[in-house]
Every structure is written in structure tokens, then in C-alpha cells.
A and B are shown apart, each in its own frame.
Chain A
């Protein structure tokens, strides 16, 4: 099962990200993962939050431009080489990862990667074959 990612347009202006995170904090929205992509002139922040519906409502009211994208959270052993093994599996199966970033969870021994994948059926079957776990919203305490 996939999880929802919120992307927010960032213009090249100091403090915009601080403003957004403050707004979310004030409404008690917990940011579980965030990654910034940028060009010289603008950028976008990709986020996994505990309550994506609430977060998107707040940000839209604030006048931000958003997009919601399905992404995948994959369990990775939290030890040297953990990520490398996962990526090798995907590379062998020719599954392209468009982008990824790590997600914090309060669990031992495991890290999680958020991944945006173009060929999703192949991605799911590849991980299934190797018994690599895809996390559900519930398992990550996301609404």
C-alpha cells in the first residue's frame, strides 16, 4: 500500500520553508520526512506528514501550490550496506527510482526509505519476491 506525499512549490525567497513548517507545527501536524529539490530559482519540498489531509488544507488556505503523489515507504535494515542491498535488488530488476529520501520512525533496527517509482507493479513484485517489506500507513502511524 502506498502512502501520500505532499509537494509544495517554493519560490526563491528566504523564510518560506520556515513559514510552512511553522504553520504545520501550530496545527500539530508532525512532519515525518522532508526532502528539498531545487534549481537556482525555485524549488519544491516533498513531505510525509502524519495527517496529510489536514496539512494540505492548511497549506492551501495559506495560498501554497501543492500536489499529492503516491509514494512507497520501504523498510531498510539500519546497518551499513542496508540501502545498497535494496538498490541493488531494484537495479537488477530494472526498476527505476525517480527520487527517494529517508523517513524517521520510532522503531528499532530499521530505517525507511520513501521512494517514487514509475513502474509500480514491477516494484511491488520485485520487493515481494525478496521479502522486503513495504510499510503501510497504519504501520507508520499515518492518517
Chain B
């Protein structure tokens, strides 16, 4: 039986939901026009005023916001409320360029935590649960987002943050954690540690909510099997609040977008043209309710698909597929698009751990592409020929998946640094 945190909203008939979005959009466009000169100028340049936006059907008339706009307007240029009305900021790690700074009023935080609470309840969470939050706390939205959601649901919420594996396992065991929230790579790491220490029987997790990182369906099954849980995907961006923009239900066939707070569009990334439902393209979000950081038509660079097929859980919110990779993660190697998640899929299929690192460089104007793969004890043998033939099989499977050849480098187990937060999957040494 499906569980909802806010059933009247989560299962609202589509017509009614659309009506709610229309009302909220009009209000939001007016709010931005009045309070965000940066965006107002963009609208004026396009010859659009709030009067041109009468419903969601007019959304396409509005100009886009991109990461470049966020950089130009850094740090305060896109704020919709004076600083005195804001109570918090969160920020991205800034590993790829300038960091994104997002602001929140108390109202914004309240709605964001509702979104996270919906995800927790959809994963089977109730006030009886012990919610083990191993996302990083601090500027990163993961920790505090799920934490706030846990409070709303009434879970006993453990603010573990990431790192200190022994303490994580000790708390899981002693307090009987039932729902784990962290990045999928950290979940895998914890699963391995649990098996190494022989704690399987002492850990009583039933579900996990994993996001903030690309992960494949194979990785999901791997985590589910090893932890004996059901693993739920969650999606979000700091720019839009954080985790909880969309979340998975028990059907695990895509993430329901919280459409009372966000409108999603899929566009052609080259032309900016809106594509029909079911097309593959760049995901664009419009925030309907955010006060302090009200982004309209924000281009996420995530390549994705939407579906409004009826879901067995009863939610009417549109579903987004797992992004095929952020275009930020996407590498162009020898002219071919490569998503790290594709490499992960192949590794798991061939029996190697999904802990890998991609190293791209450029030598004599040609891209070099190396994948460091950890040797698996089960694939090891006293015969070099056997190891080499398994390696050759991996090389050809990678080539079949990616369309270009990668050099595989087998390394000792656990030698690829596994950060306790986000995994470093790509090292691009090219200077272009």
C-alpha cells in the first residue's frame, strides 16, 4: 500500500495540479519581475512582461537561466528577498568552476523539508523509523535536507554526516537504524565494510535513499542485495533547494517531481526548443514557490526524459528518468560522448567492483582514455593468461558500450581512493 506525506497534493488530479501551477507561476513571475533586476532585464531583452504569462502554456516565452548566469550574478544577483529575510545559505562544492550559492527564507526551508519528507515516506518511512543520515552536513544540501525531512516525518534522525565508518556502523548496530541516506558510492562502501566485519546480522536497515551522484540500475541491485534493503533514488540541485526536487516511489521506475513546487520541461539543448513529453533532452526547472532564490527556467544540463504514465503508487506527479548523466559529467573523448555511468554498468556486468577512475589526457593532439579498475579476488588466478583474457573481455565490452577504446589498468583492491562523500570518478588532465 502506498504511503504519502501530503496525500492531497501528491495524488491531486492532473487538472487541479495544473490549475495550482498556473496560479503559482503567475505569482512567481511577478515576484521575480519586481525583485530580481537581473532576470527582469533578461525578460525585457526578450520583450516579455508578466502580463504575457497567463498560464504554464506561456512558460516557453520566458528566458532561460544557465550556470553562466549564476556565475555572473554571484553571489547576490538572483536573490528575490533582502538578506534580512533570509535565514540560511547552501552551496555546491565548486569543483567544476565557481561555486553556486543558494539562499533560503524560513518558508523556503519549510517547503524543501516537506519535499524531503515526501521522499522519506515514499521509501516507507514513518515516525517509528531511525533515519541514518550519512550525507555531508554543512554547505552541502544533502545532510540538512534529509535531516529536516526526517524531523517532519517524526523519525528518530541521526545526524551522522559522512566519514568515520566505524562510528557509522556502531550507531547502525546500537540504535537499529532502519533507513540510510547517503550517496550511492558511500552506501556501497558501507555495505562492503559491513560484510568485512561480519555485521550483516546486526544491521537492520530496510531502505536507503541515495542521490547526489550518478548511479546505475546495476549498482542499485548490488546495494540492495548486499544491504538487504530497497534502494530509492532521490534527485535535487542546490540551485533549486537540494534533494527532494524529485523522488522515487516503490515502483522504482522514475522519480516523481514535486510539481506543486517545480515545473519541469525538456528542451533541445542546442536550439532551446521545448520537446514533447517522452523526448530525451535537457531538463529545465522553474521554481514555483521559492522566495529567496526563485529561479525561472533554469537549465540543469542534465540529459533526461519525462513520463506522465499512470503510476501504481497513485501519485499524479510527472516522473523523470534517472538523468543519463549531467552534461557536466559527460566527457567528450575523441569526439564521442562518454558518461561515467556507462562504464560503471560494464564493470558490474563483468564482475569488477564499481569503484573505478577515469583518466583522460591529451598526447600529441589525441585523447588518451584510461580506466583504472580494481582487481576482484574472484577474477584473480595463478594464470596470467586467465587474468589477461578477463581483462580483454572487459576492454571489448567497454568498447561495445562506449564506441571508443579505453585502456584498462588493473589495480589492487581498495587502492582507488573512495572518498566518504562524493567519489572522484574522472580526472581530466587535458588542457584545452
Chain A residues whose CB sits within 8 angstroms of the CB of B415 once the complex forms: 11
- 25 pairs across A/B with beta carbons < 8 Å? A7-B380, A7-B382, A9-B380, A11-B375, A11-B410, A11-B411, A11-B412, A11-B415, A13-B412, A38-B384, A39-B388, A41-B409, A42-B387, A42-B410, A42-B411, A43-B384, A44-B380, A63-B413, A64-B412, A65-B380, A65-B412, A65-B413, A66-B380, A67-B381, A69-B382
For residue B198, CB closer than 8 A to chain A, the reply is no
Q: Are A44 and B414 in contact (CB under 8 A)?
A: no
Q: Which residues of A contact B (CB under 8 A)?
A: 5, 7, 9, 11-13, 16, 37-39, 41-44, 46, 63-67, 69, 98, 116
Q: Are A39 and B384 in contact (CB under 8 A)?
A: yes
For residue B377, CB closer than 8 A to chain A, the reply is yes
Shortest CB-to-CB span from B48 to chain A, Å, is 58
Q: Are A5 and B412 in contact (CB under 8 A)?
A: no
**One of B376, B384, B409, B413 near A44 (C-beta < 8 A):** B384
Q: Are A46 and B382 in contact (CB under 8 A)?
A: yes
Residue of B with least CB distance to A42 = B410
Given A11-B410, A41-B410, A42-B410, A65 contacting B382 (CB threshold 8 A): no
For residue B84, CB closer than 8 A to chain A, the reply is no
The CA of A119 and the CA of B380, in the complex, are separated in Å by 21
For residue B383, CB closer than 8 A to chain A, the reply is yes
Residue of B with least CB distance to A37 = B384
The CA of A86 and the CA of B101, in the complex, are separated in Å by 76
Chain B residues whose CB sits within 8 angstroms of the CB of A44 once the complex forms: 380, 382, 384, 387
Q: Give the A-B pair count, Cβ closer than 8 A.
A: 51
Shortest CB-to-CB span from A137 to chain B, Å, is 18
Chain B residues whose CB sits within 8 angstroms of the CB of A43 once the complex forms: 384
The CA of A11 and the CA of B376, in the complex, are separated in Å by 13
Given A41-B409, A65-B375, A7 contacting B388 (CB threshold 8 A): no
The CA of A12 and the CA of B375, in the complex, are separated in Å by 12
The CA of A104 and the CA of B376, in the complex, are separated in Å by 32
Q: Are A65 and B377 in contact (CB under 8 A)?
A: yes
Q: Encode contact with A along B379-393: 1 for CB under 8 Å, 0 otherwise.
A: 011111001100000
Q: Are A116 and B382 in contact (CB under 8 A)?
A: yes
Residue of A with least CB distance to B376 = A65
Cβ-closest 9 pairs across A and B: A7-B382, A69-B382, A37-B384, A11-B411, A65-B380, A11-B412, A42-B410, A65-B377, A9-B375
Chain A residues whose CB sits within 8 angstroms of the CB of B377 once the complex forms: 65-66
CB within 8 Å of A: which B307-352 residues: none
Further 10 A-B residue pairs, CB within 8 A, beyond A9-B380, A41-B410: A11-B410, A38-B384, A42-B411, A43-B384, A44-B384, A44-B387, A63-B412, A63-B414, A67-B380, A67-B381
Given A41-B409, A44-B387, A65-B375, A7 contacting B414 (CB threshold 8 A): no
* Residue among A38, A41, A66, A69 facing the most chain B CB atoms (10 A cut-off): A41
Chain A residues whose CB sits within 8 angstroms of the CB of B412 once the complex forms: 9, 11, 13, 16, 63-65
Residue of B with least CB distance to A6 = B382
The CA of A38 and the CA of B387, in the complex, are separated in Å by 11
Residue of A with least CB distance to B381 = A67
Shortest CB-to-CB span from B366 to chain A, Å, is 19
Residue of A with least CB distance to B380 = A65
Chain B residues whose CB sits within 8 angstroms of the CB of A64 once the complex forms: 412
The CA of A43 and the CA of B409, in the complex, are separated in Å by 12
* Residue among B376, B383, B410, B412 facing the most chain A CB atoms (10 A cut-off): B412
CB within 8 Å of A: which B399-431 residues: 409-415
The CA of A77 and the CA of B308, in the complex, are separated in Å by 81
Shortest CB-to-CB span from B299 to chain A, Å, is 41
Q: Are A5 and B382 in contact (CB under 8 A)?
A: yes
Shortest CB-to-CB span from A130 to chain B, Å, is 27
* Residue among B383, B413, B414 facing the most chain A CB atoms (10 A cut-off): B383
Chain A residues whose CB sits within 8 angstroms of the CB of B382 once the complex forms: 5, 7, 44, 46, 67, 69, 116
The CA of A12 and the CA of B415, in the complex, are separated in Å by 12
Shortest CB-to-CB span from A98 to chain B, Å, is 7
Chain A residues whose CB sits within 8 angstroms of the CB of B411 once the complex forms: 11, 42
Chain A residues whose CB sits within 8 angstroms of the CB of B375 once the complex forms: 9, 11, 42, 65
Shortest CB-to-CB span from B141 to chain A, Å, is 35
Shortest CB-to-CB span from B195 to chain A, Å, is 15
Shortest CB-to-CB span from A38 to chain B, Å, is 8
Q: Encode contact with A along B201-226: 1 for CB under 8 Å, 0 otherwise.
A: 00000000000000000000000000
Shortest CB-to-CB span from B388 to chain A, Å, is 6
Shortest CB-to-CB span from B309 to chain A, Å, is 46
CB within 8 Å of A: which B349-397 residues: 375-377, 380-384, 387-388
Residue of A with least CB distance to B384 = A37
The CA of A69 and the CA of B414, in the complex, are separated in Å by 24
The CA of A44 and the CA of B410, in the complex, are separated in Å by 12
The CA of A46 and the CA of B387, in the complex, are separated in Å by 14
Shortest CB-to-CB span from B210 to chain A, Å, is 26
The CA of A98 and the CA of B383, in the complex, are separated in Å by 9
Q: Are B413 and A7 in contact (CB under 8 A)?
A: no
Residue of B with least CB distance to A70 = B382
The CA of A7 and the CA of B377, in the complex, are separated in Å by 11
Chain B residues whose CB sits within 8 angstroms of the CB of A38 once the complex forms: 384
